[in-house]
Structure 1
């Protein structure tokens, strides 16, 4: 029997809403982005389950509820300049683009970068710029950013990312002393002051780079 991705997405959105995702713009974005295109073909029947799935190279696509929560906490707005650390499958990138953000996204795994860049280009997303490099260093030449989202967990908050955060900007990052055992932190810049909020436990793949593992 043929599976209808549009109906599956609609069901996924209803389930996310029941789980407490109440931002209508975020729900609309997740209802728009075809998540099945961002997973391996053999796993596409599971694309709209609320679970993380492997995408190769030791990486995963985060579960929809995690992407929805991270996106909601990021508090974006149309035209918002977002630096994403860890492009991965590109799904979070596409959700941010659907919200009208200008997204600069960095991936450190060359093979995954090439694969995901091709997919994002095929979807003709506006204002998405993919780069290969050490995401823990950020992208200072294009700074400052309204929002920075890190989709991998490291032992510390990379200082280069904090320096590239605009006044009033928000940085979301999982941080912990053990791999895949972190706390999700929200850091907001108020002039020279950084306000930090602990948003609870998180489990992400390792953040690799100068300021990662």
Structure 2
């Protein structure tokens, strides 16, 4: 039942132009989104909409996951930092693209959510979940080939830019609490360029370099 719904969702994302890269398509076909949402939400797992996961947090809509992963241009073997683990679905999709030689470090502010994510990701050998203030990045494993946030900041946190490798990409929603722009930042030749991928709405990134409170 879930497999057919997942395939139908991926067909929708392809037709709508949200995804096109074969590795992204394959990852979203293979990762079971229903296992990364609360049990009472599983029947909605393959609807193209965000879902609540508790603590006023959400799992992003599949089309937004697709947009983000496509624009990050992830390659096998890269080291990735995710800010805002949620229940781990986004990390699982990226893990499937990275292969065994790549690695995802993902930071979650809520310890209760992080514990659930760790359980759901236990079969993924290339993902580590860490409870911390994601607005400060994760300096101990920097630099990263790609950094992305599943929560919105008022400005791009400086530590994330500092922890990005040369030729790296950083993707983050930036703006007000209830309406943002999805910004893709690239670092090349020690210069920073930014591109606005369009409007979006994410929960706030709370922390030292984010919003001060939820």
TM-score relative to the length of structure 2: 0.95
Aligned to 1:113, the other structure's residue is in SS state helix
Q: How does 1:1-213 map to 2 (within 5 A)?
A: 4-20=1-17, 21-100=19-98, 101-121=102-122, 124-176=123-175, 178-213=176-211
Shift in Å, 1:26: 0.4
Note the alpha carbon deviations across 1:111-157, whole angstroms, 9 max, x for none.
Answer: 10111111111xx1121011000001111111110000111001010
Aligned to 2:168, the other structure's residue is in SS state strand
CA distance in 1, matches of 2:62, 2:21: 14
CA distance in 2, matches of 1:116, 1:70: 20
CA distance in 2, matches of 1:132, 1:180: 25
Note the alpha carbon deviations across 1:69-99, whole angstroms, 9 max, x for none.
Answer: 1000000001111000000121101000011
Aligned to 2:121, the other structure's residue is in SS state helix
CA distance in 2, matches of 1:203, 1:106: 20
Aligned to 1:180, the other structure's residue is in SS state coil
For this pair of structures, how many residues does the alignment match?
Answer: 207
- Superposition RMSD in Å: 0.8
CA distance in 2, matches of 1:179, 1:89: 22
CA distance in 2, matches of 1:78, 1:104: 15
CA distance in 1, matches of 2:42, 2:195: 36
Aligned to 1:99, the other structure's residue is in SS state helix
Point out where structure 2 has 5 or more consecutive residues left out of the alignment. none
Point out where structure 1 has 5 or more consecutive residues left out of the alignment. none
Note the alpha carbon deviations across 1:6-31, whole angstroms, 9 max, x for none.
Answer: 11111111001001011111011000
CA distance in 1, matches of 2:25, 2:62: 11
